[in-house]
Structure 1
Amino acid sequence: MRLKQALFFLLLLPVISGCSDNDDDTSAGLVGTWRLEAVYYDPGDGSGDFASVESNKIIEFLADGTLISNGDLCTLSEEAGQETRASYNEELSELYVPGCQGELAVMTTLPFVLEGNRLEIYYQCIEGCGHRYKKVSG
């Protein structure tokens, strides 16, 4: 009987040790909710860096290739309040935002970089500029 108990616990050990105390409910990938955490402006000499911001601006990426933001995605605005709907292609690392040039039929393409739970979206500026988001759920 002791041999059976020992064997049972030996078989159960990998299952138990596979559990973690990580309470991070975010998974890899773009689908989920992201909150703006930093803004990047380059003065033209390559010395620009991301600076932390306090913002309620979020983007929710849906599995069907669409996204909804509670802020403007056509500009570097950190403000929440104006809903923006757009689409994305994760393989090409691009967002497609309609209406940035005044016409809904015209799509603006914004490149992005996804690294773990950090998402950087780059805007069309003469010098470098962008937003960094942190994944908060999904």
Structure 2
Amino acid sequence: MNNYIAFCLFFSLLSLSTCEKNDSEVVGNWLLTEVLADPGDGSGVFTPVDSDRVIQLKDDGTYSANGNLCDFQIVANASSSGIYNLEEGTISPDNCATIGGTPIGLSVDGSTMIITYLCIEACQHKYERQ
């Protein structure tokens, strides 16, 4: 019985710590700094990129960007917007025909944000807080 109580207490505390991470911790501008594109053998690593792509996460759960998040490009040549959800770990661009409305993966750890695209092999963008 004591193990069960300890188990429940542990997961309750874990849930609370997850809930404490709120949108206000990620609100602001994020600059694309690195890209991971695995060649198919699991050897892919993040490599630095020279990009002006910025995503602005807003406190109402929406975002705006100066690049199209519907694809894996690094250019900053189009305005885009959508919603994000930290609890679900997703970012969902508006009007994104290329991914058929499927949310893109999103994770934030301190000053690093990772966007995980839907690819056969691993493909991610790494952003740094500005």
Q: Same fold (TM over 0.5)?
A: yes
Q: Based on CA coordinates, which of the two structures has the bigger radius of gyration?
A: 1
Runs of 4+ in 1 over 4 A off after TM superposition: none
Q: Percent identity?
A: 36
**Larger helix proportion of the pair:** 2
Matching residue of 2:34: 38
Aligned residues: CA RMSD: 1.6
Paired residue total: 107
Matching residue of 2:65: 69
Query: 1-side partners of 2:82 and 2:48: how far apart?
Result: 25
Matching residue of 2:108: 114
Matching residue of 1:85: 81
CA contact (8 A) 1:98 1:108 kept: no
CA contact (8 A) 1:97 1:108 kept: no
TM-score normalised by length of structure 1: 0.73
Question: Per-residue deviation at 1:92?
Answer: 1.1
Structure 1's unaligned 5+ residue stretches are 1-27
Distance 1:102 1:118, change over 3 A: closer
Matching residue of 1:133: 127
Matching residue of 1:98: 94
Question: Per-residue deviation at 1:102?
Answer: 6.0
